[in-house]
Amino acid sequence: MRVPIIAGNWKMNTTIAEAEALVRQMLPELETIDGVETVVCPPFVSLDAVSRLTQGTSVQVGAQNLYHEPKGAYTGEVAPGMLVGVCRWVILGHSERRQYFHEDDRLVNQKVAAALDVGLKPILAVGERLEEREAGRTEEVIARQVRVGLESIPAPESLVIAYEPVWAIGTGRAASGDDANETIGLIRGLVAKQYGDAFAQRMRVLYGGSMTQDNVGGYMAMPEIDGGLIGGASLKAGDFVSIVRQAAEARRGQ
Ligand code: PGA
């Protein structure tokens, strides 16, 4: 059985002091929960502080982005090697990166390869925009994002994919459990084509987009959904802890 992952994407929120306070608030409760991998992804400047606070605990740390070049004249960017030792995970291809910073599938592919090269575990985010969904293009868009995103990358054992329909992110308009389950099944099928069935069955695929403590149970009851990438609700300690706890309970009950 796949171990669920609940990852909090803090996006561009929290100062270093706020990040530390948030972790301090969540940590004692999160430490009591078994059976779920918990990851928090603060902004770059807080990674070091959060990593120190979570050292030796069950809570893992992730970055929200990286640049694929190892070093050099790329003002403002952060190289994969700079994250080693500070965090274990990295979110790549988030729709906000694609939308506001014009990241395309090719660039995301380079970033996934670069992350794996230094031993970081990528959480590759994919998802269709509202107009793509309404035009009946969901399947085609996801297939392209997965295919190009993983092109020429040998079986990435640590890879996690997050299905995040763009219209569901930060909108309160979450995808239905059935819808998310179906699309995630599709993603697993695409991955099976590239890496084989056994790989696809081992790989964890998360849902993201307005996941909260009120709807997490419904998603976790779905056979294809292995957890969540949580934005807004990951900034409230009580909400995030409740989501992690419910994910653990849901999996135990299956
Ligand atoms: P949300 O964000 O939970 O606030 O919808 C999810 C995400 O963007 O990862």
**pLDDT digits 0-9 by tens, 87-144:** 999 999 999 999 999 999 999 999 999 999 999 999 999 999 999 999 999 999 999 9
Q: Span 14-19, mean pLDDT?
A: 98
Q: Longest Cα pair distance anywhere in the chain, in angstroms?
A: 51
Three-state DSSP state, 152: coil
> What is the structure's pLDDT at 121?
98
Q: How far is the CA of 155 from the centre of ligand 1 (A)?
A: 27
Q: Is 6 in the pocket of ligand 1 (CB under 6 A)?
A: no
> What is the structure's pLDDT at 251?
85
- Listed in sequence order, the residues at least 6 apart from 74 whose beta carbon sits closer than 8 Å to its beta carbon are 67
CA 190 to chain centre: 18
Q: Span 15-27, mean pLDDT?
A: 98
Strand 37-41 to 5-9 pairing: parallel
Active site residues: 94, 164
* Confidence at 253, pLDDT banded by 50, 70, 90: confident
> What is the structure's pLDDT at 254?
74
Q: Is 113 in the pocket of ligand 1 (CB under 6 A)?
A: no
* Nearest atom, ligand 1, residue 234 CA: 3
Domain locations in the chain as residue ranges: 5-252
Tell me the sheet residues that pair with 40. Answer: 8, 61
26 vs 40: CA distance, rounded Å = 10
Residue 154 has pLDDT above 90, yes or no: yes
> What is the structure's pLDDT at 15?
98
Q: Is 169 in the pocket of ligand 1 (CB under 6 A)?
A: yes
Residue 1 has pLDDT above 90, yes or no: no
CA 239 to chain centre: 18
Name the residue with higher pLDDT: 253 or 4.
4
Return the CATH number of the domain spanning residue range 5-252: 3.20.20.70
> What is the structure's pLDDT at 101?
98
Q: Taking each helix axis as running N to C, give the angle between helix 16-30 and helix 237-252, from 0 to 180 degrees, rounded to the nearest 10.
A: 30
pTM of the model: 0.98
Query: Which residue is closest in CA terms to ligand 1's atom 6?
Result: 231
Three-state DSSP state, 204: strand
Q: Which of 67, 125, 121, 59 is nearest to 92 (CA)?
A: 125
* Confidence at 252, pLDDT banded by 50, 70, 90: confident
Q: How far is the CA of 10 from the centre of ligand 1 (A)?
A: 9
